[in-house]
Amino acid sequence: MSASEVVLSVAGLAKNFGGLHAVRGVDFHVDKGAIVGLIGPNGAGKTTTFNMIAGELPPSSGKITLNGEDITGQRTDVLYHKGLMRTFQLSHEYARMTSLENLMVAAPDQTGESIWSSWFTNGRVKKREAEVIELARDTLEFLGLTHVGEELAGNLSGGQKKLLEIGRTMMNDSKVVLLDEPGAGVNPTLMRKVAEMIEQLNEERGYTFCIIEHDMDMIARLCGKVVVLAEGQVLMEGTMDEVRNDERVIDAYFGGEVV
């Protein structure tokens, strides 16, 4: 495999909290255009790994690369402009803003954020604002959320909030998205919708995803490769069929029963 096909890689990634070794030398990579699952029980180090990749936690050691560039320890806002975004297990919507406004906030290059621009280049500010509104409305339509566009985001269902978070990644046209439990707290109907949106973004727009998820059916549906963490280390990686039948995984995670 050529290096140009690897969009995201972590090597020797570790995080210590005092005497607690939460992540211990994790290595894996994500190919361009892939959907990779990251699974394991609570406490396996999945979210800590995501937080380090996304710039929310500095690694104790190790290296993270994005499109061949060393991004280890870079801030979340810097990574956002490089096209790397993440969502959260608990949705982080702006509850007192509408769904449309939540999407608009996520758009980059908004000249109106500068006082200088708002005073002296008002025409350009209005043009960009109109572009952002149009993109936000198109995103709502893509997600099937047009009917809640003017609803306060805090009033949305759990599944709608998950879709809105995915929509925020679309406003930046993010090409690498870390999804932290997109199925958590979502009813089965909207979970299928979330999975459909992930598939559509992957197949039609070339998005690359790395997904933490406890729902194994969702992982099996979406992910070509699955990385299994145990006690902060990679236990194995392979297809979902290989994971289901690996004795180490069965013993460690599923109590000796094949899932």
**Ordered DSSP codes for the chain:** --GGGEEEEEEEEEEEETTEEEEEEEEEEEETT-EEEEE--TTSSHHHHHHHHTTSS--SEEEEEETTEE-TT--HHHHHHTTEEE--SS----TTSBHHHHHHHT-S--GGGSHHHHHH-HHHHHHHHHHHHHHHHHHHHHHT-GGGTTSBGGGS-HHHHHHHHHHHHHHTT-SEEEEE-TTTT--HHHHHHHHHHHHHHHHHH--EEEEE-S-HHHHHHH-SEEEEEETTEEEEEE-HHHHHT-HHHHHHHSTT---
Answer with the residue of higher pLDDT: 2 or 96. Answer: 96
Q: How far, in Å, CA of 145 to CA of 161, rounded?
A: 10
Say if residues 206 and 33 touch (Cβ distance below 8 Å). Answer: yes
pLDDT of residue 15: 97
pLDDT of residue 126: 78
pLDDT above 60 for 7: yes
Span(s) in the chain for CATH 3.40.50.300? 3-91+173-253
pTM listed for this prediction: 0.84
Q: How far, in Å, CA of 97 to CA of 80, rounded?
A: 21
**pLDDT tens column, 17-53:** 988 999 999 999 999 999 999 999 888 999 999 999 9
Q: Has domain 3-91+173-253 been given CATH number 3.30.420.240?
A: no
**pLDDT tens column, 135-193:** 999 999 998 999 999 999 999 998 899 899 889 888 887 889 999 998 888 888 888 99
